[in-house]
Amino acid sequence: MNPDPARPSPEALLKAAKREARGRLKIILGAAPGVGKTFEMLREGADFLRQGKDVVIGVVETHGRADTDALTTPFEQLPRKTIAHGAHTLTEFDIDAMLARAPQVALIDELAHTNAPGSRHPKRWQDIEELRDAGIDVLTTLNIQHVESLNDVVAGFTKVRVRETVPDALFEDAEIEVVDLPPDELIERLKDGKVYIPAEASRALNHFFSKANLSALRELALRRAAQTVDRQMLDHVRLAGEPGNWAAGERIVVAVGDQPGGEFLVRAAKRLADSMHAPWTALTVETPRSARLSGEARARIASVLKLAASLGATLTTVSAATVIQGLRGYIAEARATAVVTGKSRRSWWFELRHGSIVDQLVRDNEGIAVHVMPMPEGRGEVEQTRGTGRAFGKRGVLLGLAMVALTTAIGLLLLPVVSLNAVDLFYLIPVIATATMFGLRESLIVSLAAALAYNFFFLPPVHTFTIDNPQNVVTFVILAGLGVVSSQLAGRLRSEANVGARTATENAALAAFGQRLAAVSDEVGTAAVTCTEIAGLLDVNAVLLVRKQGRPVVIGAQPESVVLGPIDLTAADWAFERNEPAGRDTATLTASDWQFHPLATSLGVLAVLGIAAPGRSEPLPADKRILFATLLGQAALARERLKLEGEAREVAVLKQRDDLRATLISSLGHDLKTPLTSVLAAADVVVREQPGSEAAATLRAEAQRLARLFDDLVEMTRIEAGAVAVRLEPVDLTDAVTAAVHDLKPALAAHRIKLDVPPALPLVIADPRMLHHMLINLLDNAAKFSPVGSEIILAAQRAPGSLSLSVLDEGAGLPIGRPDDLFERFARGAGSDSTGGAGLGLAIVKGFADALGLTVRALNRDDRPGSRFDIDWPESLIRRVTDVEPA
Amino acid sequence: MTPPILIVDDELAIRRLVRGALERSGYTCSEAANAGEALTAARHPGCQLVLLDLGLPDRDGMELITLIKAMDRAVLILTARDATAEKVAALDLGADDYITKPFDTDELLARVRVAMRHRAGTSVDGKLTVGRIEIDIAAHRVTRQGKVIHLTPKEFALLLELARHAGKVLTHRHLLSAIWGEAHLGDVEYLRVTMRGLRQKAEDNAAMPTLLLNEPGIGYRMSID
Residue A5: CB partners within 8 Å, gap ≥ 6? A241, A243
Cross-chain residue pair A685–B82, CB shorter than 8 Å:
no
CA distance A577 to A571: 10
What dihedral do alpha carbons A527, A528, A531, A535 form, nearest 10°? -170
Mean pLDDT of B55-66: 84
Q: How far is A602 from chain B (nearest CA, A)?
A: 48
Q: What is the pLDDT of residues A227-242, one digit of tens each?
A: 666 566 555 544 444 3
Residue B123 has pLDDT above 80, yes or no: no
Cross-chain residue pair B102–A757, CB shorter than 8 Å:
no
CATH of domain A10-240: 3.40.50.300
pLDDT of amino acid A887: 41
Identify the weakest region by mean pLDDT among A116-130, A579-593, A761-775.
A579-593
- With H, G, I as helix, E, B as strand and everything else as coil, classify residue B102: coil
Residue A345 sits at the chain B interface (C-beta within 8 Å): no
**Taking Cα atoms as reference points, which of A575, A608, A613 lies closest to residue A594?**
A613
Q: At A839, is the pLDDT very low, low, confident or very high (cuts 50, 70, 90)?
A: low
Mean pLDDT of A243-264: 68
Q: What is the pLDDT of residues A331-349, one digit of tens each?
A: 776 667 888 887 765 555 5
Residue A1 has pLDDT above 70, yes or no: no
Residue A884 sits at the chain B interface (C-beta within 8 Å): yes
pLDDT of amino acid A386: 38
A450 with A479: CB under 8 angstroms? yes
pLDDT of amino acid A753: 92
Residue of B nearest to A731 (CA): B192
pLDDT of amino acid A6: 47
Q: What is the pLDDT of residues B90-122, one digit of tens each?
A: 898 889 888 887 777 888 888 898 888 765 445
pLDDT of amino acid A856: 92
Neighbouring-strand partners of residue A316: A283
pLDDT of amino acid A496: 62
Chain A, 749 to 778: residues with Cβ < 8 Å from chain B are 755-759, 763, 767-769, 771-772
Residue A204 has pLDDT above 60, yes or no: no
Query: What average pLDDT is seen over chain A?
Result: 77
Q: What is the pLDDT of residues A42-87, one digit of tens each?
A: 988 988 888 888 999 998 887 777 777 888 888 888 888 887 777 7
Residue B63 has pLDDT above 60, yes or no: yes
Q: What is the pLDDT of residues A497-524, one digit of tens each?
A: 655 555 666 666 776 777 777 777 788 8
Task: For residue A223, give Cα distances in angstroms to A164, A219, A271.
Answer: 21, 6, 11
B156 or A361: which carries more pLDDT confidence?
A: B156
Chain A, 696 to 715: residues with Cβ < 8 Å from chain B are 703, 707, 711
Chain A residues near residue B11 by CB distance under 8 angstroms:
674
Per DSSP, B38 falls in state H
Residue A61 burial (CB < 10 Å; 0-12/13-18/19+)?
A: middle
Residue B85 has pLDDT above 50, yes or no: yes
CA distance B198 to B202: 6
Question: Domain residue spans in chain A?
Answer: 10-240, 252-375, 394-494, 523-644, 725-879
Identify the weakest region by mean pLDDT among A283-287, A419-423, A527-531.
A419-423
Q: What is the pLDDT of residues B151-188, one digit of tens each?
A: 999 999 999 999 988 888 899 999 999 999 888 888 88
Question: Hey, which bits of A60-113 come out as E strands?
Answer: 76-77, 81-85, 88-92, 105-108
Mean pLDDT of B45-73: 87
Q: Positive or negative, the Cα torsion across A129, A130, A136, A142?
A: negative
- Residue A461, preceding peptide bond in cis (omega within 30° of 0): yes
Q: At A445, is the pLDDT very low, low, confident or very high (cuts 50, 70, 90)?
A: confident
- A252-375 fold: Rossmann fold (3.40.50)
Q: How far is B45 from chain A (nearest CA, A)?
A: 30
Q: What CATH class does A725-879 carry? A: alpha beta
Identify the weakest region by mean pLDDT among A515-524, A798-807, A825-834, B132-141.
A825-834
Q: At A797, is the pLDDT very low, low, confident or very high (cuts 50, 70, 90)?
A: very high
What dihedral do alpha carbons A846, A848, A851, A857 form, nearest 10°? -30
pLDDT of amino acid A7: 53
Q: At B204, is the pLDDT very low, low, confident or very high (cuts 50, 70, 90)?
A: confident
Q: What CATH class does A523-644 carry? A: alpha beta
CA distance A99 to A121: 14
Q: What is the pLDDT of residues A684-697, one digit of tens each?
A: 777 777 877 778 87
Identify the weakest region by mean pLDDT among A11-15, A454-458, B8-12, B89-93.
A11-15
- With H, G, I as helix, E, B as strand and everything else as coil, classify residue A544: strand
Q: Residue A562 CB: number of other CB atoms within 10 A?
A: 18
- Residue A505, CB-side half-sphere exposure with 13 Å CA sphere: 9
Distance of CA A14 to the CA centre of its chain: 12
Residue A790 has pLDDT above 90, yes or no: yes
Chain A residues near residue B99 by CB distance under 8 angstroms:
none
Q: Positive or negative, the Cα torsion across A150, A154, A155, A156?
A: positive
pLDDT of amino acid A378: 47
pLDDT of amino acid A298: 76
Task: For residue A268, give Cα distances in angstroms to A154, A255, B217.
Answer: 12, 12, 65
pLDDT of amino acid A270: 86
Q: What is the pLDDT of residues A735-788, one digit of tens each?
A: 999 989 988 887 888 899 999 998 888 899 998 888 998 999 899 889 988 999
pLDDT of amino acid A537: 81
What is the value of pTM for the model shown? 0.44
% pLDDT > 90, chain A: 9
A375 or A109: which carries more pLDDT confidence?
A: A109
CA distance B150 to B144: 10
pLDDT of amino acid A248: 42
Cross-chain residue pair A669–B188, CB shorter than 8 Å:
no
% pLDDT > 70, chain A: 78
Mean pLDDT of A148-172: 78
CA distance A747 to A704: 9
pLDDT of amino acid A138: 93
Q: At A491, is the pLDDT very low, low, confident or very high (cuts 50, 70, 90)?
A: low
Q: At A832, is the pLDDT very low, low, confident or very high (cuts 50, 70, 90)?
A: very low
- With H, G, I as helix, E, B as strand and everything else as coil, classify residue A604: strand
Q: What is the pLDDT of residues A527-572, one digit of tens each?
A: 888 888 888 888 888 999 988 887 888 888 888 888 888 888 888 9
Residue A384 has pLDDT above 50, yes or no: no
Residue A660 has pLDDT above 50, yes or no: yes
CATH of domain B127-222: 1.10.10.10
pLDDT of amino acid A383: 37
Q: What CATH class does B5-120 carry? A: alpha beta
pLDDT of amino acid A392: 55
Residue A106 has pLDDT above 90, yes or no: yes
Q: How far is B218 from chain A (nearest CA, A)?
A: 9
- Residue A296, CB-side half-sphere exposure with 13 Å CA sphere: 7
pLDDT of amino acid A74: 85
Question: Domain residue spans in chain B?
Answer: 5-120, 127-222
A203 with A159: CB under 8 angstroms? no
Chain B residues near residue A707 by CB distance under 8 angstroms:
102
Q: What is the pLDDT of residues A588-609, one digit of tens each?
A: 777 788 889 888 776 778 899 9
Cross-chain residue pair B104–A742, CB shorter than 8 Å:
no
Cross-chain residue pair B13–A678, CB shorter than 8 Å:
yes
Number of residues in chain B: 225
DSSP A8-62: PPHHHHHHHHHHHHSPPEEEEEESSTTSSHHHHHHHHHHHHHHTT--EEEEE---
**A338 phi-psi bin (left φ>0, alpha ψ -120 to 50, beta other):** beta
Question: Hey, which bits of A311-456 come out as E strands?
Answer: 314-319, 338-344, 369-375
Residue A635 has pLDDT above 80, yes or no: yes
Q: At A377, is the pLDDT very low, low, confident or very high (cuts 50, 70, 90)?
A: low
Identify the weakest region by mean pLDDT among A106-120, A373-387, A631-645, B6-20.
A373-387
Q: How far is B105 from chain A (nearest CA, A)?
A: 6
Winning range, highest mean pLDDT, from A359-368, A460-469, B153-162, B204-213: B153-162
Residue A379 has pLDDT above 60, yes or no: no
